Structure 1
Amino acid sequence: MFRNKDILSAISQQQMRPLKRLAIPALLILLWQSLTSLGVIPAAVLASPLRSLEAGWALASSGALGDALWLSLRRSFSGLALGAAAGLAAGVVAGYWSWGENLIDANMQMLRAVPFVALAPVFIAWFGIGEGVKVAIIAFATLFPVYVGTYEGIRGLDRGLLEVARVTGMRTWDTVREIIVPGALASILQGFRYALTLSVIALVIAEQINVTGGLGALAFDARKFMQTDVLALCLLLYALLGVAANALARTLERRLLAWRREVHAV
């Protein structure tokens, strides 16, 4: 009987967790609305959440918001895919082979100390001012979290497993696929989670270069014409993208690492 009560209590707490996470953002939005309604924050400085939603509805009805959001998402995921793939490959090579560590790790540690914002002029010189430079900035920003997570995860593996693979004659690719990546998956996903957040931050920076479409173009036009409602809407959308990226990372961790919870529950 007590065990059933504990199970019901755990289920109740799990159901309440999303509401607890939304409590503080909801209070902040209510405070924002109250301050703008009372005139403490002038509309010329920052529009209220309700006015921002009205602006969003108007933009969505015209199709402009959907087009801008889709273009921003495409840029973000294209850069993330390139950066994560490169980081994963480099992390496996540097983490598994000593020659790979000597060749890659020192250079990666040096490059990750350089802020990706500072490299924007270099990327513009290399890729021009089109879509390529935006994707390149996002890829560079997301490369290092995945690399570090993969490298540290592989370095933390039980070397006995790798020795068993070597003694049994397991091929290198099979060792990587069946032992190394699954064993380092928790660390890899942590790096990927950080990379997802960085992809949104890098998107904000990248969309300020030769502003053409996307949420960056909406924010640029809103700033130029002093449309604080549209500007606030863009800020909210960027924030929601960050929340969605974090939720996606958590979902991946729950699904791909479900075996850890099962082991702990035994």
Structure 2
Amino acid sequence: MSATAPVGPVGTSADPSAPGLVTPRPRIARPRPRALSLGLRLLGPLVLLLAWIWASASGTLSSSLLASPRQVLSAFRELWTSGQLGDALSVSLTRAGLGLAFGATAGLVLGVVTGFSRLGEELLDSSLQLLRTIPFLSLVPLFMVWFGIGETARVVLIAVATSFPMYVSAAGGVRNTDRKLVEAMRSFGMGRLALVREVVLPGALPALLSGLRLSMTLSVIALIAAEEINSTAGIGYLMSTAQEYSRTDILTVCILIYALIGLFADGAARLLERLLMPWRTQGAAR
């Protein structure tokens, strides 16, 4: 009695070599062309710009509510040639950079301590989680009382706002580090500081970069709030002056500058992620 091929559901042969059946091919993820990807990213902003131009030209959007793109471009040229925009941008970037540096460093150190040490977690985590729930904007009046209306209050406000995203990401990343690897390195006599530097931080790198990206984005939001504390320089000062004279063109320029700063910060975080973890972008499907 001859052997028969196994029969699959509804009477079809389960043998891939049987007539009428085609072996399925694995789906190969092909990278998207760079020009197409860039065009898709620019499509949304281009549509918004065209809608803005049309609404201003047709009179649907009054210049008293929002200046036209031509007026905004003229105001940008006026501020740049007079040097006001360059000076304001330098002051604002310094504030955001200092606050981010202090805040991200503090969040990283606290996150490593609470994530790596059970004693550190028991002593610090509950208090830090309580402070994290306080909106940083509610601290503005208190910081004005403590530090006055100078640069210290603004930098501290940005530092507080940016420290907690880094803290949460660092603590979570450190806790998720491979414990078997940590114990193995300890058995070889590696000290605690070397263990953190050589094993824990590299293992938590994806979480650390995610926290840095959130902190960089939040630093721009905190900068806007910080520059409302009686600023005499910076982008926020230009906005306050423009508000007094109802200059919607200058207000729009300042808003766009804030948006560009945030976009640059996010792009810098993405670039840092690609440089430090190239395998994530190489293996990702486009």
TM-score where L is the length of structure 1: 0.93
Q: Which residue of 2 aligns with 1:152?
A: 172
1:241 aligns with 2:258: no
Deviation at 1:18, TM superposition (A): 2.6
21-30 or 180-189, larger mean C-alpha shift: 21-30
Deviation at 1:19, TM superposition (A): 2.4
Deviation at 1:263, TM superposition (A): 6.9
1:66 aligns with 2:112: no
Q: 2:115 aligns with which of 85, 89, 95?
A: 95
Task: Supply the distance in 2 between the matched residues of 1:79 and 1:16 (Cα, whole angstroms).
Answer: 37
State percent identity of aligned pairs: 45
1:182 aligns with 2:202: yes
Give the number of aligned pairs. Answer: 258
Question: Measured at CA, do residues 215 and 264 of structure 1 come closer, stay the same or move farther in structure 2, by a change above 3 Å?
Answer: closer
Question: Measured at CA, do residues 104 and 11 of structure 1 come closer, stay the same or move farther in structure 2, by a change above 3 Å?
Answer: same
Task: Supply the distance in 2 between the matched residues of 1:35 and 1:11 (Cα, whole angstroms).
Answer: 34
The within-5 A match list for 1:1-266 is 10=31, 12=33, 14-261=34-281
Secondary structure of 2:31's aligned partner: helix
Task: Supply the distance in 2 between the matched residues of 1:30 and 1:244 (Cα, whole angstroms).
Answer: 23
Secondary structure of 1:27's aligned partner: helix
Deviation at 1:259, TM superposition (A): 3.6
Q: Which residue of 2 aligns with 1:3?
A: none
| Per-residue deviation, residues 203-232 of structure 1 (Å, max 9, x unmatched) | 000000012110001100100001110001
| Per-residue deviation, residues 38-84 of structure 1 (Å, max 9, x unmatched) | 11111111101221111001110111110001110000010000000
Secondary structure of 1:43's aligned partner: coil
1:243 counterpart letter in structure 2: L
Task: Supply the distance in 1 between the matched residues of 2:280 and 2:94 (Cα, whole angstroms).
Answer: 33
Deviation at 1:127, TM superposition (A): 1.1
2:63 counterpart letter in structure 1: A
Deviation at 1:96, TM superposition (A): 0.2
Secondary structure of 1:46's aligned partner: coil
1:175 counterpart letter in structure 2: L
Identify unmatched segments of 5+ residues in structure 2.
Answer: 1-27
2:92 counterpart letter in structure 1: S
2:90 counterpart letter in structure 1: W
| Per-residue deviation, residues 156-197 of structure 1 (Å, max 9, x unmatched) | 111101101111110111111111111001001101101111
TM-score where L is the length of structure 2: 0.87
| Per-residue deviation, residues 92-117 of structure 1 (Å, max 9, x unmatched) | 00000001101111111111100000
- More helix per residue: 1 or 2? 1
1:16 counterpart letter in structure 2: L
Task: Supply the distance in 1 between the matched residues of 2:145 and 2:229 (Cα, whole angstroms).
Answer: 12
133-142 or 35-44, larger mean C-alpha shift: 35-44
Secondary structure of 2:184's aligned partner: helix
User: Who wins on radius of gyration, i.e. which is larger?
Assistant: 2
Question: Measured at CA, do residues 261 and 35 of structure 1 come closer, stay the same or move farther in structure 2, by a change above 3 Å?
Answer: closer
Question: Measured at CA, do residues 175 and 63 of structure 1 come closer, stay the same or move farther in structure 2, by a change above 3 Å?
Answer: same
Deviation at 1:245, TM superposition (A): 1.0
Deviation at 1:15, TM superposition (A): 3.6
Identify unmatched segments of 5+ residues in structure 1.
Answer: 1-5
Task: Supply the distance in 2 between the matched residues of 1:11 and 1:147 (Cα, whole angstroms).
Answer: 35
